[in-house]
Amino acid sequence: MTKFLDELPPREALVEVARDFHARGWMAGTAGNLSARADEAHFWITASGLPKGRLQESDFILIRVADAAVIERGRAELSPSAETAIHAALYELFPDTNACLHGHTVTACVATARTAAKATALRLPPLEMGKGFDVWEQRPRADLALFANHLDVARIARDVRARFKKSRPKIAALLVRDHGPTVWGTSLQQAYNRFEVLDFLLNYLARR
């Protein structure tokens, strides 16, 4: 636990983040997906249906950014989660993104339950913690992009792509209602830090 995450090989670092997030209740069951860019055109992502507290480095799949095609599997029987398409969209839209973390949190679900059903954004509270997303304003009015949940995850991915193509969000994160947050960063350490920051902000909203 002493090296910064980006000093570790990507899959080794993701195994560590997965164990950490699972222990915090952010990846209950087999929920969530974590990915890190392997090179300009590819990223490694956790395979579908595995318990995230017990991953090994062979539990990842290499995905092509351009079309979300599977390029390599750590083990033959692994398959990618439907949410892989959301990761691919983010890596393609934002070339400076090198890691993308998606979890399911009770705090996020409770915070969105208190938001109007049709809202497309969740106003983050004006706490100092907001600086963790590089919001440097006295009383920031920072909005987190909010998306409707769909059984068909490909549809969520299309919604994300359509909306973020028009304008890059100020907060490098999105929230799917009744589902959970996705946070990205220029490094895995940054994405990890910001996932914590977002949970702090949502936990505040849920407890206030």
Stretch that binds a copy of itself, among 62-70, 84-92, 136-144, 159-167 (CB under 8 A): 136-144
By C-beta, is 69 or 154 nearer to a copy of itself? 154
CA 93, 95, 97 angle in degrees (round to 5)? 100
Burial of 165: CB neighbours in 10 Å, binned 0-12, 13-18, 19+: exposed
By C-beta, is 99 or 206 nearer to a copy of itself? 206
Number of residues lying near a copy of itself (CB under 8 A): 51
Least Å from the CB of residue 160 to a copy of itself: 15
Both tokens of 158, joined, read: 């299309």
Q: Does 30 bind a copy of itself (CB under 8 A)?
A: yes
Cα four-point dihedral sign 54, 56, 59, 64: positive
Both tokens of 43, joined, read: 């990223």
Both tokens of 41, joined, read: 């055109």
Least Å from the CB of residue 17 to a copy of itself: 12
Q: Does 54 bind a copy of itself (CB under 8 A)?
A: yes
* Pairing mode of beta strands 42-46, 60-64: antiparallel
Residues 103-122 that bind a copy of itself (CB under 8 A): 104, 106, 109-110, 113
Q: Which helix (DSSP H) or strand (DSSP E) does residue 205 occupy?
A: helix 188-207
Positions that interact with a copy of itself (CB under 8 A): 1-5, 19, 25, 28-31, 50-51, 53-56, 104, 106, 109-110, 113, 125-129, 132, 136-138, 149-151, 176, 178-180, 189, 192-194, 196-197, 199-200, 203-204, 206-208
